[in-house]
Structure formats: structure tokens, C-alpha cells
Amino acid sequence: MVAGTPRVLRVMNERATLDLLTEHGALSRARIGALTGLSKPTVSQLLARLEAAGLVGSAGTSEGRPGPGARLYALRGEVAHVAALDVRPGRIRAAVADVTGTVLATHTLATPARPGPGGVPAQLTAALDGAARAAGTERPALRRVVVGTPGAFDPRTGRLRYAGHLAGWHSPGLLAEVAAALHPVPVEYENDVNLAAVAERRLGAARGHEDFVLLWNGTGLGAALVIGGRLHRGWTGGAGEIGFLPVAGTPLVRGVARTGSGGFQELAGAQALPRLAGELGVAVPQAGPEGADPADGEAVAAALLRTAAEAYTRPGGDPAPRAAEPPHEGT
């Protein structure tokens, strides 16, 4: 074990302070000292260093207490910008945020069924350029870009799996091509449901939890596994691709098995449930005007789930067979 040097300790204290300002927003010196356990002189010195480096600035004074307000310190959001790309069939949505996490601008790029000249790298570049311009910055100035897609990139081959519906995303050299197009900005790739789990753990229902599963039923069925505070992706990146789990015992799934695509997506996915509702005689409400009674939709949903569950668990109660259709792949 290496003993901490004064320089290492300073860096650790500064990093801890930046993390606190990221999590809590503006804080006073006294509050930073209480949260870190550092003395007032030490907090004052590290805040002076962070101010000199341009990372921290004054954010006014505290209010609501007797006496003069304490000076508040906050991260300077303009110090760095990052971007995220949400990829879906038919469009790419780009968002640029500052270092505090505040979204500064978004840009949506419609994408054709078949990528044009430049392919996917050109699409990503155009989406990022649009968002960066709207945010008052430039793409090369971004510190990092994260791309969220259905499916998962296999860490062994670098190829996208479980997302056959994304046109142009399956060439073996795609990741290298994107990296070259966006150079010098570092690029990371992640499954969209995994990113949703990260957000839920930081800001949503899973905040404060180290172990949870997020289930997603949007255009596809998926799941994200967080164990010990870490995402678990599986050996090939497909740990959450529950839409492809084979489910035995129904003609619906036996038909899907012939396509080699798995069964759970076809059984319970967003596209399958309305069809199944019709087969089971349950009315599916159409999108109505604002102000409609949500209880009506809840009653219909409850009836659908109850009827579907009974149909697939009752001996001999399979719904009538129908022609197999390829499921929508991806999460």
C-alpha cells in the first residue's frame, strides 16, 4: 500500500468536492466541510484552487437564516460539454449538456430506411453538429459522446446484435468508422435500457439502491441488471435482451421459433399485446384527447393482463394459432 502524498491527498479532496457539487448543486464552505470532514482552512484552500482552475465559481449567498448569508460555490457548467445520441429506426436525437448535466440543446435528425452517402457515421456527425450549434459550441469541443442504441455491441467482435431493425448499423468496421468521423471526441456505446437504468439510479426510482432490475416495454422488450451498483451486460453484451427468451407452450411462440428470433417479444412486446388483445376480445383504446379519464385505460389494461395471463397458463387454453410474424428485434 502506497502512502498518500500531499499532492495525492489534494487531488482526492478536490475530486470529492467536485463530486459533491455535481450531486448537490451550490454549497457553502461550511456544508462542504461537513460533508467531507475537512477543516475550514483546508476547504478554503481547495476551493481557491478550484476557482483558479476555472472549475468552480460563486453562486450567490445562502438565504433563510439570521445574519449574513454564506457564500455559495457551484460548478461552472461552461467548463465542459458532453453529448448523447439516442438512436431509433427513422431518427437520431442528439442532446448537448454542460458539465453540471443541464441540457443546453437538442437536435433530431430524420434517417432514411437505407443510409445515404457516408452511412451511419455521417448521420451521427450531422445530428451532433445540429445539437452543438444550437448549444453555442462545436462538435470538436465536446469532451465525450455516448451513443445509446437498441441491442448491444458484442465486446468480442464490435458488431451490433439484437437490433436487426437498425439499418446500416451492422457492418464489421462500423465502430472504427464512427471513431474516425468524430475524432478527436471520445465515443462510447451503450444499450438504451442500460442507460435508462443509470439515470434511474442517479435521479429516479432506483436512487440509493445498489441492486435492482429495470424492465422496459417500449418498441421492444428489454431489461437492465444492476448488481452491487454496477451494470451487468453479460459475456456478449446481451444480458438484458429478454425479448429473445424462448417461451414454450404456445402456438404463437412455436411459430416464432421457426424464425430463430426467440419468443418473449412476440408474446408480450408492445406490438404483440394489441394484437393479442384483439384475439382475446379485449378492446384496445385509441389515443384520445387530453383530459380523458386515466381510470378507463387502467381498467382496460388490467382486463388485458388478466385475460392474457389466464389464456397462457390455462391447460389447453392457448389462443387460436395464427401465422408467425418476425418480432421487432432489440430493446
d(CA 6, CA 152): 43
As to burial, measured by CB atoms within 10 angstroms (0-12 exposed, 13-18 middle, 19+ buried), residue 43 is: buried
213: three-class secondary structure by DSSP? strand
Average pLDDT, the chain: 82
- Contact call for residues 138 and 96 (beta carbons, < 8 A): no
Please give the pLDDT value at position 4.
Answer: 65
243: three-class secondary structure by DSSP? helix
Q: Go through the chain and tell me how many residues it has.
A: 331
- pTM for this model (two decimals): 0.75
Higher pLDDT, 227 or 269: 227
Question: Among 81-95, 125-139, 314-328, which is the least confidently predicted range?
Answer: 314-328
Per-residue pLDDT of 19-73, as tens digits, reads 999 888 999 999 999 999 999 999 999 999 999 999 999 988 887 666 577 899 9
Beta bridge partners of 75: 56
Give the confidence band of 244 by pLDDT, cuts at 50, 70, 90: confident
List, in order, residues 6 or more apart from 253 with CB less than 8 Å away.
246, 247, 263, 266, 267
Please give the pLDDT value at position 266.
Answer: 72
Please give the pLDDT value at position 320.
Answer: 39
Per-residue pLDDT of 181-204, as tens digits, reads 999 999 999 999 999 999 999 889
Per-residue pLDDT of 277-329, as tens digits, reads 777 676 665 544 443 444 455 676 676 677 666 655 554 444 433 333 333 43
Cell matching residue 27: 454549497
Please give the pLDDT value at position 147.
Answer: 97
What domains are there in the chain, each with its CATH number? Answer: 6-75 (1.10.10.10), 79-194 (3.30.420.40), 244-313 (no CATH)
